[in-house]
Structure 1
Amino acid sequence: MIRQSIPMQNTQTHSLPSLKAIRQAISQGQLNTAQSMIDTLLSESTLATGLRTECLYMRAVTHRLNKQYQRAIDDINALLSVRPDHGRAYQEQAYSYKALGSNKAAAKAFYQATHFNPALLASWQQLISIYKEQDNQQAVSLASEQIAFLESLPKPILGAHDLMYDGQLAAADSLCRKYLQQHKHDAEAMVLLAEIGMKLKAYYEAEFLLESCVAIHPDHERAAVAYQSVLSKLGKFPQAEAFCRKRREQKPGDMSVLMAHASALVGMGTLEDAEAIYHQLLSANEQRPAVWLALGHAQKAMGKRELAIRAYETAIRYMPDFGDAYWSLANTKTYTFSDDLLKEMETLASGDGLRLDDLINLCFALGKAHEDKKNIEKSFAYYKKGNALKHSTTQFDIARTEAAMDAQKEACPASLFTSKSGCSDPAPIFIVGLPRAGSTLLEQILASHSQVDGTMELHDILTIASRISGQKTPYPYNLPSLSDDQCEQLGRLYIEQTSAYRQGAPYFIDKMPNNFIHIGLIKRILPNAKIIDARRHPFDCCFSGYKQLFGDGQEFSYGLEEIGRYYRAYVDLMDHWHKVLPGEILTVQHEALLEDLEGQVKRLLDFCGLPFEEACLAFHQTQRVIKTPSSEQVRQPIYKTGMGQWKPFEAHLTPLFDALQQYP
């Protein structure tokens, strides 16, 4: 079936066939005509990736309808090499496999289709027949629940779900809003619109929608789960924890509620309580690999390295293809994979039964494992594959990010900061920069001071930016129009929201790296805040980011060209902030810190207006929760082995050097 609601593309010239004409030809049974038009489009060398993907999908449909099943499969394989998360393509592939009698391959493809697009009702219906033949009652039950849910949805909302999972967010958003105009306060439509909003990074609107939804529909489980999720996504862990406690009263003993509560506690830094919940779940049933993984994350943040490793290894024992557990071992940065385990991982990664998320995690783990063993060619091959797969699942456009940074420069001239409006509280110390640039080390040094609380990567500035983005003049161009009273209120809001993460010291650290984009906003609402830019040599910083699989965000890091261009845009924007805010930002070069720890620490403390304390030099002895990938590294004395790690990979890094316009 060809969906009719895919929006028209505007990338073709007038002489080329349109997608609308191709779909019309298919619907009228003119398959050869449709194929000819598709071939004409595909012959264009400048065809946009999205349009090429759609053409391959439609040509596969025409091949299948012409009973040319292997050709259809070949087209789908070509499509999936570019978009490995394309659910509808897997469904199309499954129909061809089924027609060829390859029932096992068809079953796998139908499963992949529902994994990437849970709104594909036809694939669920095919799966339930397969599960019944296998006498897999648990799978039948789960599939039946999903089918019942999808069949209960109004057709426009089912269509919007399908569009969202297919990556057509604008079309899904439009369809959902149109339905809500006629069916105000419909719970499923509100939940879906919020989910689309999260994908579009309209976080404030998503939160407001779900907060309203749970108030109107207090017994709606999907709304409750979505609200819990959005609070955690926004870093509003105290609110998430309070909401979870209420849900536990209503559903005591429910595993999903307990896991959500533990996750919120981890977010707040109340790790002992979270650890207790994980142990409670495992005492009821120890064969829960996801719980072992979450327990390992909590123990790693607490500095319980050996226990964390044991938890990750246990997760693998119960689920040998659990890619996240392998990556979590590698992400301790100190774990050494045995040769036998390495062989098992390589066998797993070379097979065809692995889910995409597991394969991505496994590739990054194998990259790290081979790097540790000095197998440079193998290491880079796995890093490259993992990054390519991850990049293909995002819709990241580096040009849009560069434009967003240019907008900050245009919207924030020096005249914007002539008056010190906003909340005068001097408590916040912002550490900004790129990930893997040494910000965790700076945080650990400052958090070792008696007058400074270490917190974590707080989301509050990003949330405030989202909050004011819905005004008539878009953010950041509306920053000059904010009144003194509005600036004061927003600054006070930030102080209030972050209070839950403080332990009573006069100052506290907000270590969200991406806040460098929002320094204009920060200085408008918190004029006395200190801002520290953690800077690292571009080759080391970019390659370290390329090797890192981030839990969320940082989409720019999954391509060498993208990360190089991002680094240049970051430096350019920081130069602007220094120009319009002279003396208000301290740049700390990571390499200088490694060479002269005491001198740089004194410089850092002087900038923050803090007296020198020896504990800042003995930062590795400070016991605190650290949830970043560098947690184990900053629990050691200063070392320089991280410098120059890109050098063995130099032959592979030309796209990075070109993007940076710097060469070894």
Structure 2
Amino acid sequence: MSIAQQLRLAVQQGHFDDVILRANQALEAEHDAHARESILYCLTVSYRQKRQYTDALSAAKRLLEQAPEHARAHQELGYIYLALAQPLDAANGFYHAARHNPALIASWRNLALLHEQAGNQEGAALAQAQLAFLQALPPKLLGAHDLFYDGQIHQAEQLCRSFLSHHKHHPDAMLLLAQIGIQLKVYQDAEFLLESCIELHPNHQKAGIEYLRLLAKMGKFQTVLEIAEQLLKTAPTNTVIRTAKANALVGIGELDAAISIYQELLTENVNQASIYLLLGHALKAQGKQQEAVLAYQQAYNENPSFGDAFWSLANTKTYTFTDSELASMQAIAKDSATSKDDKVHTLFALGKAFEDKKQYADSFDYYQQGNALKQLQYGYNAEFIERQVEEQIRTCTAEFFAMRKDVGCSRTDPIFIVGLPRAGSTLLEQILASHSQVDGTMELHNVMGLVSRLRGQTNRYPDVLPQLQNDYFKQFGEQYIKDSRVYRRGGMFFIDKMPNNFLHIGLIKCMLPHAKIIDARRNPMACCFGGFKQLFGEGQEFTYDLTNIGRYYRAYEKLMAHWDNVLPGYVLRVNNEDVIADLEGQVRRILAFCGLPFEDACLRFHETQRVIKTPSSEQVRQPVNAKGVDLWKHYKAHLTPLKNVLSKVDGSNEGF
């Protein structure tokens, strides 16, 4: 039994003096972060139980400096301040506890009481409603909720499944199991659970809202619109559902309709900061840069610690922060009370701000801090991508393709652009989308969704591919064409710019044998560092560590070489540096590969008006230039881990 486990048992037995003595001794020797969290929590509880409130306060604050989202530490603060007759501070502690773990009954009970005493009837009613919900849950299901919010995902899943085995269609249990599935990224299972839940319990609003969120995460924006319309029939004023509808409209490129909904919500004075942020994103995608900036500024005016507002300003790639904004951001980054999410966004924004000031050492320090927090959150392991690449190479051989020649859908519409993020794919998309016969869409999730279905619970993809009947591939291709129609605007061809599709070129070849695939390449050091300093909204977990991103790049190179070997001529490689050096020559080469006649508009791509939602949106609205080509060299003193990975395969320094 570890020291942390021993201390927890001693707390349960009421041996508080012993815990205080042993915990303080253990903290001097213990370096594991999770163990220290547990020890500090036991120490906090013991000091409070001994009514040593000053020491309890100190221990709780030490714990929160290390783990700002530790719900029970915030709850302890609530208890301590309650004992010290500081009701405002107590309410703040219980609020943050309930925010990070909505299953903490004691925090909701105290919040309801404190709000009532302060005359805050609305706050008291909200707390009472959540308290009533929790108290109505069966004990086993309440325990599963508590485990889930406490980060003990697998234990929560076991308890929830055990409960469902005896209560098959319990809506709150179905919802929780779906939420667990989303956390574990088993999206197909979660989607089935939520779809079933709202069919069985059409008035279960929480399940409906979670379903909308999941569908949006999966890129199924048309379905989001359909479900949102259904839910709005019974809840026409619900802010969350209306926001989900607006977000889905952005997803399919109906920006004017989305902006109209955001503006309606702002007139109702609800969720001001987050709605201003979403409005800014829509305006930015529309090319209204200055209006987007004003919306982002209004977002942080509404919520001064709103890290995403600062990051969104930085992510325009053209905004210059004022000294006042920089000071505010630095204060937010240092404040132990700042949430992890706000801190991460602010750190990346500071990295970009100091990059623009050419203070590269400070810039890298902020990028490094932000990436370290994200890496801690995801715990990404580079072996994951390397294993996937080996599985693709083992399965998708030349013989495999020879046996499945032209088995898929014969349509020639799709043009896939693959590669790593920040490799110049948005520029290639903008060039192609400037052609009269080509629709630019976005990073479509359709192939990834199909992969998720094929993978299933047994994780049999890509091993399952040789076992499929040929007719299935044709069906897959036809379904892909059908599902992507909502993003198109009448062109003969359309672009799917999901970079991660490089992993699934074998599947694409089988289901759409006449599709075109373009591999966007860039100097490896520039590409990898570009990913490292970019905070992605979803996915791309490999980018938050220099060694991991280097290993990912090498795995990508290896797989692309395999596709070249077994599918010669199927993929066109386009180097970003070549496009910058010889725009017309590369444009003609790309168009010829796609079977398209040359059009001068492709050289004037920056004049094309269209929806662009990637971080490069403003860069591709300018003529081609070499501004960012060698930016990474200003950081090269800090990039040794990346250089070592990129160099060790062939001994080259990749331009370092």
TM-score after normalising by structure 2: 0.91
Secondary structure of the residue that 1:392 maps to in structure 2? helix
Contact 1:83 1:392 in 2 (8 A): no
Contact 2:68 2:336 in 1 (8 A): no
Q: Matched residues in 2 for 1:61 and 1:406: separation? A: 50
Q: Which blocks of at least 5 consecutive residues in structure 2 are unaligned?
A: 648-652
**What displacement does 1:240 show?**
0.8
**What displacement does 1:59 show?**
5.8
Secondary structure of the residue that 1:588 maps to in structure 2? strand
Q: Percent identity?
A: 50
Q: Which residue of 2 aligns with 1:582?
A: 568
**What displacement does 1:357 show?**
2.1
**What displacement does 1:255 show?**
2.4
* Paired letter, 2:636: E
Contact 2:81 2:90 in 1 (8 A): yes
1:521 aligns with 2:507: yes
Q: Which residue of 2 aligns with 1:380?
A: 364
Secondary structure of the residue that 1:509 maps to in structure 2? strand
Q: Matched residues in 2 for 1:470 and 1:147: separation? A: 37
Contact 1:557 1:563 in 2 (8 A): yes
Out of 139, 146, 152, which is 1:168 matched to?
152
Out of 377, 391, 397, which is 1:393 matched to?
377
* Paired letter, 1:336: T
Out of 368, 374, 378, which is 2:352 matched to?
368
Contact 1:540 1:646 in 2 (8 A): yes
**What displacement does 1:25 show?**
4.8
> Compared with structure 1, are the counterparts of its residues 473 and 354 closer, same or farther at alpha carbon in structure 2 (3 Å cutoff)?
closer
Secondary structure of the residue that 2:572 maps to in structure 1? strand
> Compared with structure 1, are the counterparts of its residues 625 and 43 closer, same or farther at alpha carbon in structure 2 (3 Å cutoff)?
same
1:619 aligns with 2:608: no
Secondary structure of the residue that 1:424 maps to in structure 2? coil
Structure 1 range deviating more: 633-642 or 79-88:
79-88
Q: Matched residues in 2 for 1:265 and 1:414: separation? A: 42
Q: Matched residues in 1 for 2:491 and 2:136: separation? A: 53
* Paired letter, 2:355: E
* Paired letter, 2:237: G
Contact 1:17 1:41 in 2 (8 A): no
Contact 2:69 2:339 in 1 (8 A): no
Q: Matched residues in 2 for 1:56 and 1:417: separation? A: 58
Q: Matched residues in 1 for 2:161 and 2:565: separation? A: 43
1:498 aligns with 2:508: no
Contact 1:292 1:311 in 2 (8 A): yes
Structure 1 range deviating more: 317-326 or 32-41:
32-41
Q: Which residue of 1 aligns with 2:12?
A: 27
**What displacement does 1:408 show?**
2.7
Secondary structure of the residue that 2:637 maps to in structure 1? helix
Q: Matched residues in 2 for 1:601 and 1:69: separation? A: 70
Contact 2:212 2:244 in 1 (8 A): yes
1:196 aligns with 2:180: yes
Q: Matched residues in 1 for 2:367 and 2:532: separation? A: 8
1:479 aligns with 2:479: no
1:561 aligns with 2:544: no
Secondary structure of the residue that 2:631 maps to in structure 1? coil
Residues paired across the two proteins, number = 648
Q: Matched residues in 1 for 2:456 and 2:369: separation? A: 38
Q: Which residue of 2 aligns with 1:463?
A: 449
**What displacement does 1:302 show?**
0.7
Q: Which residue of 1 aligns with 2:278?
A: 294
Q: Which residue of 2 aligns with 1:6?
A: none
1:488 aligns with 2:477: no
Q: Which residue of 2 aligns with 1:219?
A: 203
Contact 1:82 1:392 in 2 (8 A): no
Contact 2:10 2:19 in 1 (8 A): yes
Out of 430, 441, 460, which is 2:416 matched to?
430
1:205 aligns with 2:214: no
Structure 1 range deviating more: 279-288 or 178-187:
279-288
> Compared with structure 1, are the counterparts of its residues 78 and 474 closer, same or farther at alpha carbon in structure 2 (3 Å cutoff)?
farther
1:356 aligns with 2:340: yes
Structure 1 range deviating more: 504-513 or 33-42:
33-42
Secondary structure of the residue that 2:417 maps to in structure 1? strand
1:637 aligns with 2:623: yes
Q: Matched residues in 1 for 2:505 and 2:477: separation? A: 13
Contact 2:11 2:46 in 1 (8 A): yes
1:178 aligns with 2:178: no
Q: Which residue of 2 aligns with 1:342?
A: 326
**What displacement does 1:340 show?**
2.7
**What displacement does 1:510 show?**
0.8
Q: Which residue of 2 aligns with 1:602?
A: 588
> Compared with structure 1, are the counterparts of its residues 518 and 67 closer, same or farther at alpha carbon in structure 2 (3 Å cutoff)?
farther
CA displacement, residues 625-651 of structure 1 (integer Å, 9 cap, x when unaligned): 101111111011001101121222222
TM-score after normalising by structure 1: 0.90
Secondary structure of the residue that 1:431 maps to in structure 2? strand
1:656 aligns with 2:649: no
**What displacement does 1:271 show?**
0.6
Q: Matched residues in 1 for 2:57 and 2:645: separation? A: 37
Q: Matched residues in 2 for 1:348 and 1:22: separation? A: 34
Q: Matched residues in 2 for 1:85 and 1:403: separation? A: 33
> Compared with structure 1, are the counterparts of its residues 172 and 249 closer, same or farther at alpha carbon in structure 2 (3 Å cutoff)?
same
Q: Matched residues in 2 for 1:568 and 1:79: separation? A: 39
**What displacement does 1:332 show?**
0.8
1:229 aligns with 2:209: no
Secondary structure of the residue that 1:397 maps to in structure 2? coil
Q: Which residue of 2 aligns with 1:310?
A: 294
Q: Matched residues in 2 for 1:608 and 1:149: separation? A: 57
> Compared with structure 1, are the counterparts of its residues 363 and 472 closer, same or farther at alpha carbon in structure 2 (3 Å cutoff)?
closer
Q: Which residue of 1 aligns with 2:650?
A: none
